[in-house]
Amino acid sequence: MSAKLKDRIATFVIIAFSALIIALLVGMLGYILVKGISHIDWHFLTAEPETIKAGGGIGPELFNSVYLLILTLIITIPLGIGAGIYMAEYAKEGRITVSIRLVVEVLSSFPSIVVGLFGLLVLVNTFNFGFSVLSGALVLTIFNMPLMVRVTEQAFRNVPREQKEAGLAMGLSRWKIITSILLPVALPAIITGTILAAGRIFGEAAALLFTAGLTTPKLDFTDWNPTSLHSPINPLRPAETLSVHIWKVNSEGLSPDAAEIAAGSSAVLVLMVLIFNLLARWAGRLLYRKFTSIK
C-alpha cells in the first residue's frame, strides 16, 4: 500500500470517528429532547410525583435540585476560593504544597459513590443530620471543593504578576492586594468555572442516594418556617433531586408512564446543563469586560 493511500485511509478514519462522536451527541440530545420535551408542560414541572398512577410531575424534585445547588454553592464558594488563594498566593513551593496538590487531585478523583458513603456514615448517622438537604449539600461540597480550588488557583496565577508587584510596592497588605486587586481580575474565570461546576452538581446523583435521600416529604410552599418538616427550605428534611428521581423511576418506577417521566426529567436536566454551559461562556466574557474596564 502506498504512503499516499495509507494517508487517505487514516484521514478518512479520523474524520469518520469524529463525525461519529458528533452524531452520538446529536443523537443523544435529539432522543432526549424529542422524547422528553413533548412531556414537559407546566403541570409536569410543578406537580407532585405519583408512585403508581400516571400523570406525576417533578415539581418538588426540581425545587430540591435548585435548593441543594444553591446551598452547596454558598458553602463551597468561600471555602474553595479561600483554599485556591492559599495555593496561588500563600503556599511556598515545597513539600507541603506538593502534598496539598496531591490531596486536591486525589479528592477530585474519588468515586462519587464513595464520597456518598462517607456522607452516609459521618453526616447522616454520626452527626445525625439524617437524610437531608444539609447532608447532601455537604457531600456535594466535598466534590466541588477540589474543582473550585483548581479554578481559583489557575485564575489567580493568570493575573499578571506586575499587578501584585504594584500593590506590594504601594505598601498594601498581601490580603488587601488579593481581595482588591487580584480578585477582581480573577473573578470572571472563577465565575465561569463555578457555573460549569454548578452544572456538574446539578447532575450528580450517586452521592445523593445515601445523603439527601430518595424521598421528599409533602412540601407546603406557603410554609417558610425552616424548622417545619413540610417547609421547602427546611435544611434537615430529606430531598430527592431530579437526577436521583431519574434513577429511581428507571430502576423501580411503577407508574405506567415511568418511561415518559424519565425522558421528561432527563430533558429538563439536560436543558439545565446546556443553560449552565451557555451561561458560563456568556458570563465569562461579559464579566471580564465589566470587571477590568468601566467600574
Site for another protein in 97-116 (CB under 8 A): 100, 102-107, 109-115
Q: Is 58 a binder of another protein (CB under 8 A)?
A: no
Q: Is 30 a binder of another protein (CB under 8 A)?
A: no
Looking at 19-27, 38-46, 50-58, 230-238, which segment touches another protein (CB under 8 A)? 19-27
Alpha helices in the chain (DSSP H): 3-37, 42-46, 59-85, 95-109, 112-118, 133-157, 161-169, 174-176, 183-203, 206-209, 242-252, 258-292
Rounded to whole angstroms, the Cα distance separating 269 from 277 reads 12
- Please, what is the minimum distance in Å from the beta carbon of residue 86 to another protein? 4
Rounded to whole angstroms, the Cα distance separating 6 from 270 reads 40
Q: Which amino acid is at 44?
A: F
Q: Is 37 a binder of another protein (CB under 8 A)?
A: no
Q: Is 263 a binder of another protein (CB under 8 A)?
A: yes
Residues binding another protein: what is the number (CB under 8 A)?
112
- Please, what is the minimum distance in Å from the beta carbon of residue 81 to another protein? 8
Q: Is 44 a binder of another protein (CB under 8 A)?
A: no
- Please, what is the minimum distance in Å from the beta carbon of residue 114 to another protein? 5
CB-based contact 275:38 (threshold 8 Å): no
- Please, what is the minimum distance in Å from the beta carbon of residue 225 to another protein? 30
Q: Is 189 a binder of another protein (CB under 8 A)?
A: no
Burial profile 233-263: b = 16 or more Cβ within 10 angstroms, e = fewer: bbbebbbbbbbbbbbbbeeebebebbebbbb
Site for another protein in 207-226 (CB under 8 A): 209-210, 214
Rounded to whole angstroms, the Cα distance separating 285 from 233 reads 33
- Please, what is the minimum distance in Å from the beta carbon of residue 12 to another protein? 10
